Structures are given as C-alpha cells and as structure tokens.
Amino acid sequence: MKIRLTDRSFLKLLDFSPEEIRYLLDLAHCLKEEKRQGKTKNRFKGKSLAMIFEKRSTRTRCAFETAFAEEGGHPVFLSTDDIQLGAKESVEDTARVLGRMFDAIQFRGFRQDHVELLASASGVPVYNGLTDEFHPTQILADFMTMEEVFGRLKGLKVVFVGDTRNNVAKSMMIGCSKMGVDFTALGPQELAPDSEIVELCRKEAEKNGCRICVTDNIDEALNGADVVYTDVWASMGEESESAAREKLLSPFQVNDELMEKTGKTESIFLHCLPAVKGKEVTESVIEGPRSYVWDEAENRKHTIKAVMVATLT
C-alpha cells in the first residue's frame, strides 16, 4: 500500500491508520540512522515552522527545533507570553496569519479544540506537541524505543501505571489498540479513562488482534508486562491537585517490587519525562538497568522529524 501523508496535520493518533503509523515509525528508524551517519539532507530548506507554546517543554521543543533546523529549516519559538494569541487575538485569526507566513505550525497547550482549529483555519500542517487531551508525538517515540529493544510491537504488553486518564495514557491506549499491542490502564478507579474512549479503543483493538484492560488490581495488571510506563501524578495545569493525587496514587508508585510483578526479567521501564523521582517512580527504577527513558527522550527527535518529513515533503 502506498502511504502519502503530505499536507496532513498530526493532531491525534485516532486520525491515523495502523499502516500510516507503521510508515512514520519506519521513516523515524531511517532518519535516526541517517543522522548517526551524518547524512542529513536539507529537506526543509526554505521552509519555516511556527512553534507555539502555552505550556513549558524541554523535549518537545528541542526535538521540533533541532529536527527542523538540521534539515535546513527555520523554526520560530512563540511563547504565548509574547504573542497576541490568548490575549488580544483569537485562535482562528492567529491561525490565518501564521498560515500565510509559515509552512507548518507546532502547538503545545491546553485545549485539543484549539489545535484542531489551528489546523482547519491555517491551511498548513499543524502538529500537536501536547494538549490536555492527547500527546501523540510522544507515543511514536515510545513505540520506536520498544521496537529498538524488542524488535517488534505486535504481541507486546504495555501497562500504564498511575493517572490513566491523562494525555499520555490515553494516547498510548489509542496507539496500542492500532498497533496490536495489549494495553492495561492500572490506577485508582477515580482516575480511570472515560468509558467512551476505552470502548473506541476496544473496537480498534479487536480489529488489530490485541486487548485493552482497565483495572486497579496491581498483581493482575503487571503479570506478563513487557513495558511498564508511568507519568507524573499531576499534569501541567493540574498543580493544585498534587496533594490529592499523591494520596490516590502512592500505592501505584513504580518501584522495584512493582517491576518484579511482571514476572519477566526482560521487561522495561518507560516514562515520557519530566519525572518526579521518589513520587511516581523510584530513583532505583528510573536509573536502573530496565530503564530506557533516555533513548525514549532521544527518539522524540527522530519521530518528530519523521512526522515533519512525511507531511512537508
């Protein structure tokens, strides 16, 4: 099947078929190797990328900025402390102006409907660098890392532990359902993902030969897991919830004892980062031999470059 993603936006994984996700991952592996050999190709020469940030970022910003620049493009960082968006100007008007000046737009912020509106009003590809709802580019990097470790995705089992209704957890559930990966959301019932998205993923999983589970049973969930994944207990914008979250989520801390419950010596630990060591994960797990978080962080760049190469060239 010939895959063509030119001019598409990357807003959520629900918009992409398993074949399209496969294409992006294959491209990312090639681009990583190409970079390692020092053979980048000036693919974005003469192009510019607007990068809007309503929330902080280290990995996503640096991945977009360096990936775009090392292929000859000009990335422009736009913090919402500086531009009119959110103060004097609507999302739609900002989109129409940026669409006249830039070849693509990256948006990290609060509302998913804003990133969707940016895409429909700007007329150029828009990339979701994280919203309250979804973090789709993160999952590409996670999958790439899993493929580097296990040589495959299909048939693996991922357990996301903690705040299972957050942007990363939901995106991982969608991604797994598309790529034939068993997914378990392990956390307190109060923080379980909405049944609507779970049902949607279950239908997708059925087509692709995998299972989606939601549970608060630690032993059952972890048994046979290949990947144990966690994220912060309070996401950006939820800082006032921190104390309540700590109470709810402490039993779900990823520590050595919890990792042992996979029953597999080869199971690995992933975290999108930034991590609060001593809260959602112990120092000993994140710094231990099962942790691939630094490869995972590096892979943000290669996968984000793949998204831009696929949609802009």
Contact residues toward ligand NVA (CB under 6 A) are 130, 166-168, 231-232, 235-236, 272
DSSP string, 198-250: HHHHHHHHHHHT--EEEE--HHHHHTT-SEEEE--SS-TT-GGGHHHHHHHHG
In the list ligand NVA, ligand CP, none, the entry touching 231 (Cβ below 5 to 8 angstroms by class) is ligand NVA
Rounded Cα distance, 62 and 71, in Å:
14
Q: Which is nearer to ligand NVA, 261 or 300 (CB)?
A: 300
Report, in Å, the least distance between residue 203 CB and ligand NVA. 25
Residue of 106, 140, 198 whose CA lies nearest to 21: 140
In the list ligand CP, ligand NVA, none, the entry touching 118 (Cβ below 5 to 8 angstroms by class) is none
Binding-site ranges for ligand CP (CB under 6 A): 57-60, 130, 138, 272-274
Residue nearest to ligand NVA (CB): 235
Report, in Å, the least distance between residue 129 CB and ligand CP. 7
In the list ligand NVA, ligand CP, none, the entry touching 218 (Cβ below 5 to 8 angstroms by class) is none
* Cβ contacts of 196 within 8 Å, gap of 6 or more: none
In the list ligand NVA, ligand CP, none, the entry touching 167 (Cβ below 5 to 8 angstroms by class) is ligand NVA
Q: What angle do CA 72, 103, 100 make, to 5 degrees?
A: 135
Q: Which is nearer to ligand CP, 114 or 300 (CB)?
A: 300
Report, in Å, the least distance between residue 134 CB and ligand CP. 12
Q: Which is nearer to ligand NVA, 34 or 238 (CB)?
A: 238
* Cβ contacts of 12 within 8 Å, gap of 6 or more: 112, 128, 133, 134, 136, 171, 174
Catalytic residues: 108, 135, 138, 231, 272, 300
Q: What is the DSSP letter of 172?
A: H
Radius of gyration for the alpha carbons in the chain, expressed in angstroms and rounded: 19
Q: What is the DSSP letter of 72?
A: T
Report, in Å, the least distance between residue 1 CB and ligand CP. 31
Q: Which is nearer to ligand CP, 9 or 137 (CB)?
A: 137
